[in-house]
Protein backbone atom coordinates (compact mmCIF):
# COMPACT_ATOMS: atom_id res chain seq x y z
CA UNK A 1 0.00 0.00 0.00
CA UNK A 2 2.73 2.42 1.02
CA UNK A 3 4.79 1.46 -1.96
CA UNK A 4 1.91 2.14 -4.27
CA UNK A 5 1.35 5.64 -2.88
CA UNK A 6 5.04 6.32 -3.26
CA UNK A 7 4.93 5.34 -6.94
CA UNK A 8 1.88 7.51 -7.56
CA UNK A 9 3.42 10.47 -5.75
CA UNK A 10 6.67 10.19 -7.72
CA UNK A 11 4.90 9.83 -11.05
CA UNK A 12 2.59 12.79 -10.48
CA UNK A 13 5.48 14.99 -9.33
CA UNK A 14 7.51 14.06 -12.42
CA UNK A 15 4.54 14.87 -14.62
CA UNK A 16 4.04 18.33 -13.11
CA UNK A 17 7.74 19.17 -13.31
CA UNK A 18 7.89 18.02 -16.92
CA UNK A 19 4.86 20.11 -17.78
CA UNK A 20 6.44 23.22 -16.24
CA UNK A 21 9.81 22.64 -17.91
CA UNK A 22 8.27 21.97 -21.29
CA UNK A 23 5.34 24.38 -21.31
CA UNK A 24 6.64 27.52 -19.58
CA UNK A 25 9.39 28.14 -22.20
CA UNK A 26 6.67 28.05 -24.86
CA UNK A 27 5.14 31.22 -23.38
CA UNK A 28 5.73 34.23 -25.67
CA UNK A 29 7.59 36.28 -23.03
CA UNK A 30 9.76 33.46 -21.71
CA UNK A 31 12.97 34.56 -23.31
CA UNK A 32 12.75 38.00 -21.77
CA UNK A 33 11.81 36.60 -18.37
CA UNK A 34 14.66 34.15 -18.53
CA UNK A 35 17.16 36.90 -19.22
CA UNK A 36 15.70 39.22 -16.57
CA UNK A 37 15.24 36.72 -13.72
CA UNK A 38 17.38 33.67 -14.40
CA UNK A 39 20.58 35.17 -15.65
CA UNK A 40 23.41 32.90 -14.48
CA UNK A 41 26.14 35.42 -15.08
CA UNK A 42 24.39 38.12 -13.04
CA UNK A 43 23.57 35.60 -10.35
CA UNK A 44 27.16 34.56 -9.71
CA UNK A 45 28.41 38.10 -9.94
CA UNK A 46 25.98 39.44 -7.32
CA UNK A 47 25.50 36.48 -5.03
CA UNK A 48 28.58 37.02 -2.81
CA UNK A 49 27.57 40.66 -2.31
CA UNK A 50 24.08 39.57 -1.36
CA UNK A 51 25.35 37.06 1.18
CA UNK A 52 27.47 39.80 2.70
CA UNK A 53 24.46 42.11 2.87
CA UNK A 54 22.48 39.30 4.48
CA UNK A 55 24.88 39.50 7.43
CA UNK A 56 23.24 42.85 8.18
CA UNK A 57 19.86 41.09 8.34
CA UNK A 58 21.30 38.51 10.71
CA UNK A 59 22.81 41.23 12.85
CA UNK A 60 19.54 43.12 13.16
CA UNK A 61 17.71 39.88 13.83
CA UNK A 62 20.24 38.91 16.49
CA UNK A 63 19.70 42.02 18.55
CA UNK A 64 15.96 42.26 17.93
CA UNK A 65 15.12 38.71 19.03
CA UNK A 66 16.26 38.95 22.68
CA UNK A 67 14.69 42.39 23.07
CA UNK A 68 11.40 41.03 21.73
CA UNK A 69 11.56 38.04 24.06
CA UNK A 70 11.96 40.32 27.07
CA UNK A 71 9.52 43.09 26.10
CA UNK A 72 6.93 40.51 25.03
CA UNK A 73 7.17 38.88 28.44
CA UNK A 74 6.85 42.21 30.24
CA UNK A 75 3.69 43.02 28.27
CA UNK A 76 2.25 39.55 28.85
CA UNK A 77 2.81 40.01 32.59
CA UNK A 78 1.23 43.46 32.49
CA UNK A 79 -1.82 41.93 30.86
CA UNK A 80 -1.93 39.27 33.56
CA UNK A 81 -1.85 41.77 36.45
CA UNK A 82 -4.76 40.81 38.69
CA UNK A 83 -4.84 43.35 41.45
CA UNK A 84 -7.38 46.14 40.85
CA UNK A 85 -4.72 48.74 41.65
CA UNK A 86 -2.73 47.50 38.66
CA UNK A 87 -5.62 47.91 36.26
CA UNK A 88 -3.88 50.76 34.36
CA UNK A 89 -1.02 48.37 33.63
CA UNK A 90 -3.47 45.82 32.31
CA UNK A 91 -5.21 48.43 30.20
CA UNK A 92 -1.85 49.53 28.81
CA UNK A 93 -1.01 45.95 27.84
CA UNK A 94 -4.36 45.57 26.14
CA UNK A 95 -4.14 48.80 24.16
CA UNK A 96 -0.53 48.07 23.24
CA UNK A 97 -1.43 44.70 21.80
CA UNK A 98 -4.43 46.03 19.91
CA UNK A 99 -2.42 48.84 18.35
CA UNK A 100 0.70 46.96 17.35
CA UNK A 101 -1.08 43.90 16.11
CA UNK A 102 -3.53 46.02 14.20
CA UNK A 103 -1.03 48.10 12.21
CA UNK A 104 1.11 46.64 9.39
CA UNK A 105 4.79 46.29 10.35
CA UNK A 106 5.90 48.39 7.42
CA UNK A 107 3.70 51.26 8.58
CA UNK A 108 5.20 51.17 12.07
CA UNK A 109 8.66 51.12 10.51
CA UNK A 110 7.84 54.19 8.42
CA UNK A 111 6.20 56.08 11.27
CA UNK A 112 8.91 55.36 13.84
CA UNK A 113 11.82 55.20 11.40
CA UNK A 114 11.09 58.52 9.69
CA UNK A 115 9.04 60.21 12.40
CA UNK A 116 11.36 60.07 15.38
CA UNK A 117 14.62 61.05 13.63
CA UNK A 118 12.52 63.84 12.14
CA UNK A 119 12.49 65.42 15.59
CA UNK A 120 15.99 66.58 14.72
CA UNK A 121 17.96 64.12 16.83
CA UNK A 122 21.77 64.39 16.56
CA UNK A 123 23.89 61.53 15.26
CA UNK A 124 24.01 58.67 16.08
CA UNK A 125 20.51 58.94 17.58
CA UNK A 126 18.90 59.46 14.19
CA UNK A 127 20.19 56.14 12.85
CA UNK A 128 17.61 54.10 10.95
CA UNK A 129 19.14 51.03 12.59
CA UNK A 130 18.01 52.25 16.00
CA UNK A 131 14.51 53.34 15.04
CA UNK A 132 13.95 50.49 12.64
CA UNK A 133 14.87 48.14 15.45
CA UNK A 134 12.50 49.95 17.79
CA UNK A 135 9.68 49.60 15.26
CA UNK A 136 10.27 45.88 14.72
CA UNK A 137 10.67 45.21 18.45
CA UNK A 138 7.48 47.10 19.30
CA UNK A 139 5.45 45.21 16.71
CA UNK A 140 6.78 41.74 17.34
CA UNK A 141 6.60 42.10 21.10
CA UNK A 142 2.83 42.42 20.77
CA UNK A 143 2.63 39.06 19.02
CA UNK A 144 5.10 37.37 21.34
CA UNK A 145 3.17 38.75 24.34
CA UNK A 146 0.02 37.06 23.07
CA UNK A 147 1.88 33.78 22.70
CA UNK A 148 3.26 34.03 26.25
CA UNK A 149 -0.20 34.86 27.52
CA UNK A 150 -1.69 31.78 25.89
CA UNK A 151 1.04 29.79 27.61
CA UNK A 152 0.35 31.38 30.99
CA UNK A 153 -3.35 30.71 30.64
CA UNK A 154 -2.72 27.11 29.61
CA UNK A 155 -1.20 26.31 33.01
CA UNK A 156 -3.93 24.78 35.12
CA UNK A 157 -5.34 26.90 37.92
CA UNK A 158 -4.46 24.13 40.39
CA UNK A 159 -0.77 24.92 39.96
CA UNK A 160 -1.39 28.49 41.05
CA UNK A 161 -3.55 27.28 43.94
CA UNK A 162 -0.89 24.84 45.15
CA UNK A 163 1.84 27.46 45.00
CA UNK A 164 -0.32 30.13 46.64
CA UNK A 165 -1.35 27.75 49.42
CA UNK A 166 2.32 27.41 50.37
CA UNK A 167 2.39 31.11 51.14
CA UNK A 168 4.35 32.23 48.08
CA UNK A 169 3.79 35.76 46.83
CA UNK A 170 1.94 36.41 43.58
CA UNK A 171 5.22 37.26 41.88
CA UNK A 172 7.02 34.16 43.20
CA UNK A 173 4.16 31.97 42.01
CA UNK A 174 4.53 33.50 38.56
CA UNK A 175 8.30 33.36 38.49
CA UNK A 176 8.94 29.89 39.85
CA UNK A 177 5.79 27.93 39.04
CA UNK A 178 3.79 29.40 36.17
CA UNK A 179 6.37 31.01 33.85
CA UNK A 180 8.87 28.12 33.66
CA UNK A 181 6.06 25.83 32.52
CA UNK A 182 4.34 28.38 30.30
CA UNK A 183 7.46 29.51 28.45
CA UNK A 184 8.51 25.95 27.73
CA UNK A 185 5.08 25.16 26.38
CA UNK A 186 5.09 28.02 23.87
CA UNK A 187 8.64 27.69 22.54
CA UNK A 188 7.45 26.24 19.20
CA UNK A 189 4.90 29.02 18.70
CA UNK A 190 7.53 31.65 19.46
CA UNK A 191 9.96 29.96 17.07
CA UNK A 192 7.43 30.43 14.30
CA UNK A 193 7.36 34.13 15.10
CA UNK A 194 11.14 34.25 15.02
CA UNK A 195 11.09 32.81 11.50
CA UNK A 196 8.63 35.51 10.46
CA UNK A 197 10.86 38.09 12.12
CA UNK A 198 13.86 36.86 10.15
CA UNK A 199 12.00 37.78 6.97
CA UNK A 200 10.47 41.03 8.22
CA UNK A 201 13.89 42.37 9.19
CA UNK A 202 14.29 42.99 5.43
CA UNK A 203 11.58 45.66 5.69
CA UNK A 204 14.08 47.89 7.45
CA UNK A 205 15.59 48.47 4.03
CA UNK A 206 12.71 50.85 3.34
CA UNK A 207 14.14 53.37 5.78
CA UNK A 208 17.79 53.03 4.86
CA UNK A 209 19.93 50.10 6.04
CA UNK A 210 21.56 48.33 3.13
CA UNK A 211 20.66 44.77 3.93
CA UNK A 212 20.07 41.99 1.44
CA UNK A 213 16.81 43.25 -0.06
CA UNK A 214 18.18 46.74 -0.51
CA UNK A 215 21.44 45.37 -1.90
CA UNK A 216 19.50 43.29 -4.42
CA UNK A 217 17.67 46.47 -5.45
CA UNK A 218 20.97 48.26 -5.90
CA UNK A 219 22.28 45.45 -8.13
CA UNK A 220 19.03 45.41 -10.05
CA UNK A 221 19.35 49.09 -10.91
CA UNK A 222 23.04 48.75 -11.65
CA UNK A 223 22.76 45.74 -13.95
CA UNK A 224 19.18 46.32 -15.18
CA UNK A 225 18.40 42.75 -14.20
CA UNK A 226 16.08 41.13 -11.65
CA UNK A 227 18.19 38.04 -10.96
CA UNK A 228 19.62 39.50 -7.70
CA UNK A 229 16.10 39.33 -6.25
CA UNK A 230 16.10 35.62 -6.96
CA UNK A 231 19.43 35.34 -5.18
CA UNK A 232 18.04 37.20 -2.16
CA UNK A 233 15.01 34.91 -2.10
CA UNK A 234 17.26 31.85 -2.17
CA UNK A 235 19.27 33.17 0.75
CA UNK A 236 16.11 33.66 2.81
CA UNK A 237 14.90 30.19 1.91
CA UNK A 238 18.24 28.68 2.90
CA UNK A 239 17.61 29.99 6.42
CA UNK A 240 13.85 29.76 6.83
CA UNK A 241 13.22 26.31 5.35
CA UNK A 242 15.53 24.42 7.72
CA UNK A 243 14.32 26.56 10.61
CA UNK A 244 10.67 25.81 9.80
CA UNK A 245 11.36 22.08 9.50
CA UNK A 246 13.14 22.14 12.81
CA UNK A 247 10.23 23.88 14.52
CA UNK A 248 7.73 21.48 12.96
CA UNK A 249 9.71 18.58 14.34
CA UNK A 250 9.82 20.22 17.74
CA UNK A 251 6.03 20.71 17.72
CA UNK A 252 5.49 17.10 16.66
CA UNK A 253 7.75 15.91 19.45
CA UNK A 254 5.95 18.08 21.99
CA UNK A 255 2.57 16.76 20.85
CA UNK A 256 3.84 13.21 21.07
CA UNK A 257 5.15 13.81 24.57
CA UNK A 258 1.83 15.22 25.73
CA UNK A 259 -0.42 12.48 24.39
Least gap, CB of 169 to another protein (angstroms): 6
Closest CB to another protein among 119 and 257? 257
Least gap, CB of 175 to another protein (angstroms): 9
Query: Is 150 one of the binding residues for another protein (CB under 8 A)?
Result: no
Closest CB to another protein among 35 and 175? 175
Closest CB to another protein among 179 and 203? 179
Query: Is 83 one of the binding residues for another protein (CB under 8 A)?
Result: no
In the shown chain, the binding pattern of residues 162 to 181 toward another protein, with x for contact by CB under 8 A and - for none, equals xxxxxxxx--x---xx--xx
Query: Is 158 one of the binding residues for another protein (CB under 8 A)?
Result: yes
Query: Is 187 one of the binding residues for another protein (CB under 8 A)?
Result: no
Query: Is 161 one of the binding residues for another protein (CB under 8 A)?
Result: yes
**DSSP states of the chain as a string?**
-HHHHHHHHHHHHHHHHHHHHHHGGGSTTHHHHHHHH--HHHHHHHHHHHHHHHHHHHHHHHHHHHHHHHHHHHHHHHHH--SGGGHHHHHHHHHHHHHHHHS-HHHHHHHHHHHTGGGTPPTTTT-HHHHHHHHHHHHHHHHHHHHHHHHHHHS-HHHHHHHHHTT--HHHIIIIIIHHHHHHHTHHHHHHHHHHHHHHGGGGGGGS---HHHHHHHHHHHHT-SHHHHHHHHHHHHHHHHHHHHHHHHHHHHHHHH-
Count of residues of this chain found to bind another protein when the rule CB under 8 A is applied:
17
Q: Which residues bind another protein (CB under 8 A)?
A: 158-159, 161-169, 172, 176-177, 180-181, 184
Amino acid sequence: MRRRSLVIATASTALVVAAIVLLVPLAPGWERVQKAFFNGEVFWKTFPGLVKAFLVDIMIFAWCAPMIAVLGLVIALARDARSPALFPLRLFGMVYNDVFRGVPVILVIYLVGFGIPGLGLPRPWNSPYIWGTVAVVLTYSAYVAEVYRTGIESIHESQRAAATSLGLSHWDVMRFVILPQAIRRVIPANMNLLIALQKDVALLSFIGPVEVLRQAGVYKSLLANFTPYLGAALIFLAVTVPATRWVDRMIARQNAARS
